């Protein structure tokens, strides 16, 4: 075989090898592009304005908008929303019926041992709701007062901490699964002295349910009692570490590019984006 023939054979072999590699790469790219995204079920409230609620027959709200935008970015996932009663949201995670729960959840020690949490989406804006007669404006005025909260909430941790640190100024706490609207009615009727709750969510319920005789104030001495400060999170099934990482990346990006601020101002009327230190793995 002369040199020219050898050269032709070598070039042909190289061309065939290149074509094979290119074909394999194209096949892998095609397979990746046609791979179906993993369906993620989001257990969500529909009566927690402005976080997630129904408007003109469609879900909307601060947290819903965050998830909706993240869903567009995360091509490996497809979010499906399933509305549950507030009391059944975490049970949906427990039963494997959902992988994310959304309802402006706070973090508690018990929850952190059982579930995964996203980075916080907002700093909690909480207020003391009381009767016009009581008109409570300070945390120190809660001593000796009666309140009612659901079991397992961050508000329970807050009040438990208060009672442990101030045994002579204890707050009387009753636990129940009554909806927030019903507990606000309890203030109006005189059953309860106060509620410490999300300002925007509770104010919307007062308006929607036409509850009378209830006023609210952000505590004027809040800075003196940092244990009353809260953040809001998405809660995830504890097996969803990859999803948690992907969702955290989105939340952090939204905080950096101004999207969280835009939503916060739209739904809360103020910038409630958490400080940068909150967007770090702890």
pLDDT in tens, 122-138: 998 889 999 999 999 99
Q: Mean per-residue pLDDT for 85-105?
A: 95
Secondary structure (3-state) at 122: strand
Instruction: Output the six-digit token pair for 174.
Output: 């009753």
Q: Mean per-residue pLDDT for 42-48?
A: 94
Provide the domain count of the chain.
2
| Same domain, yes or no: 111 and 239 | yes
Is pLDDT of 149 > 80? Answer: yes
**Res 2: pLDDT:** 52
| 18 lies in some domain | no
H helices of 145-276, in order, are 154-165, 180-189, 199-208, 241-257, 259-268
Asked whether 195 and 158 are in contact (CB, 8 A), the reply is no
Q: Mean per-residue pLDDT for 20-35?
A: 52
Length of the chain in residues, anyone?
282
List of E strands, 3-144: 38-44, 47-48, 52-55, 58-60, 77-83, 100-105, 116-117, 122-123, 126-131
CATH number of the CATH domain containing 249: 3.40.190.10
| 196 lies in some domain | yes
| 144 lies in some domain | yes
| Same domain, yes or no: 97 and 114 | yes
pLDDT per position as a tens digit, 159-185: 999 999 999 999 999 999 898 999 999
Is pLDDT of 13 > 90? Answer: no
| 170 lies in some domain | yes
d(Cα 216, Cα 63) in Å, to the nearest integer? 23
Cβ partners under 8 Å of residue 186, min gap 6:
148, 178, 192
Cβ partners under 8 Å of residue 264, min gap 6:
62, 122, 270, 271, 272, 273
Asked whether 44 and 83 are in contact (CB, 8 A), the reply is yes
| 24 lies in some domain | no
The residue that leads in pLDDT, 253 or 27, is 253
| Same domain, yes or no: 136 and 195 | yes
Phi, psi (rounded to 5 degrees) for 242: -65, -40
**Res 21: pLDDT:** 46
Identify the CA nearest to 254 among candidates 125, 122, 80.
Answer: 122
| 163 lies in some domain | yes
| 22 lies in some domain | no
- How much of the chain, in percent, has pLDDT values that exceed 70? 88
Q: Mean per-residue pLDDT for 189-205?
A: 92
The residue that leads in pLDDT, 206 or 5, is 206
Residue where the block lists tokens 């990482």: 245
Q: Could you tell me the residue range of the domain that residue 149 belongs to?
A: 126-228
Q: Mean per-residue pLDDT for 100-127?
A: 93
Give pTM, 2 decimals: 0.74
| 135 lies in some domain | yes
Is pLDDT of 82 > 90? Answer: yes
Is pLDDT of 22 > 90? Answer: no
d(Cα 219, Cα 183) in Å, to the nearest integer? 20
């Amino acid at each position: 075989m002369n040199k020219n023939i050898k050269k032709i054979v070598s070039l042909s072999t190289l061309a065939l090898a290149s074509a094979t590699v290119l074909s394999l790469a194209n096949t892998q790219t095609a397979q990746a592009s046609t791979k179906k995204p993993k369906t993620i079920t989001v257990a969500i409230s529909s009566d927690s304005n402005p976080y997630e609620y129904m408007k003109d027959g469609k879900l909307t709200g601060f947290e819903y908008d965050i998830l909706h935008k993240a869903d567009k970015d995360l091509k490996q996932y497809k979010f499906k929303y399933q509305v549950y009663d507030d009391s059944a949201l975490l049970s949906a995670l427990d039963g494997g019926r959902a992988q994310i729960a959304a309802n402006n959840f706070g973090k508690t020690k018990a929850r952190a041992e059982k579930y995964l949490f996203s980075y916080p989406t907002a700093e909690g804006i909480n207020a003391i709701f009381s009767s016009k007669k009581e008109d409570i404006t300070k945390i120190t005025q809660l001593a000796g007062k009666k309140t009612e909260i659901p079991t397992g909430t961050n508000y329970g941790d807050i009040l438990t901490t208060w009672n442990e640190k101030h045994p002579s100024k204890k707050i009387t706490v009753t636990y129940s699964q009554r909806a927030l609207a019903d507990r606000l009615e309890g203030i109006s009727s005189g059953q309860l002295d106060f509620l410490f709750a999300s300002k925007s969510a509770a104010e919307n319920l007062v308006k929607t349910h036409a509850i009378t005789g209830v006023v609210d104030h952000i505590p004027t001495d809040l800075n003196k009692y940092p244990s009353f400060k809260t953040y809001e999170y998405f809660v995830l099934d504890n097996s969803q570490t990859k999803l948690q990482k992907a969702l955290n990346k989105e939340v952090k990006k939204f905080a950096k590019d101004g999207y969280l601020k835009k939503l916060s101002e739209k739904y809360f009327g103020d910038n409630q984006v958490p400080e940068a230190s909150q967007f770090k793995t702890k």
